[in-house]
Amino acid sequence: MGRESMIETLSETKSHSGIQGVYRHESKTTGTPMTFSVFVPDHRPTHKLPVLTYLSGLTCDHSNVTEKGEFRAACAQYGIVFVAPDTSPRGAGVADAEGYDIGQGAGFYVDATEPPWSQHFRMRSYIEDELPALIAAHFPVDGARQSIMGHSMGGHGALTIGLRNPGRYRSISALAPIVAPSQVPWGHKALGAYLGDDRDAWRAYDAVALIEDRARVDELLVDQGSADQFLDEQLRPGLLREACERAGIALTLTLQEGYDHSYYFISTFMAEHVAWHAARLNV
């Protein structure tokens, strides 16, 4: 087993009769140490479990959802492994910038092509390829039963990764996602920096553009808070509704009255999302 396939256990704690762990490994994809968390519910020793990957938003790492997401009771109920990676490579030798919306903590789940980002910022390949292989090698997961979800920037990541890999994920959901980064300030800044000025290259990282370019899945689930401070300028879920209507994709988009962008919102609807994924993971 190569060094990049080894993991270091940072902590393991019993919760809801399962084990909540935090782990680190040397990523071949990013060229940096990467930290992630995994909740494994109680299960029969030889049983393989479905896996739900959660992608976090701007400024976050694995710890935000692990500590505040309130997913473990539902995952224990349905027997689902919950994986929460970091949002970007980190470290003294990793490129960074002023501001919370680019650089470390703001990887946008792209494979950057522009310097200085291209050396380490390969979060698309990390989430699509390296991390699933690592999870399969070290945890009791059924690789044929995978789902993906995320929040904000991570909702953008879940939608775009799911749309690019329609045969891999049984279900895709998002909480307050950035649905069309090519059309909003966060996306203009991040995609321009990471990918350059060619907007055609941005389309692989834009859920609305992917649907316009004939990416198809059967259905999507999105919850959005009506009091979200980023709703009108950065998130614009109506663009996703229009794209799905034109493409014939069944979108359940619910505007949740009075909720904002925070983990108070996320934790409120997390169990519903886990249950929705469970039904599609055949558990």
Positions marked catalytic: 152, 228, 261
> Percent of the chain having pLDDT more than 70?
99
pTM of the model: 0.97
Q: Which residues pair with 9 in a beta bridge?
A: 23
Does the structure show a pLDDT above 80 at 1?
no
Per-residue pLDDT band at 2 (split at 50, 70, 90): low
Angle among Cα 190, 135, 20 to the nearest 5 degrees reads 95
Per-residue pLDDT of 96-130, as tens digits, reads: 999 999 999 999 999 999 999 999 999 999 999 99
Q: Would you say 110 and 123 are in contact if contact means Cβ atoms under 8 Å apart?
A: yes
Tokens of 236: 């614009």
Map out the domains of the chain with their CATH numbers.
Answer: 7-281 (3.40.50.1820)
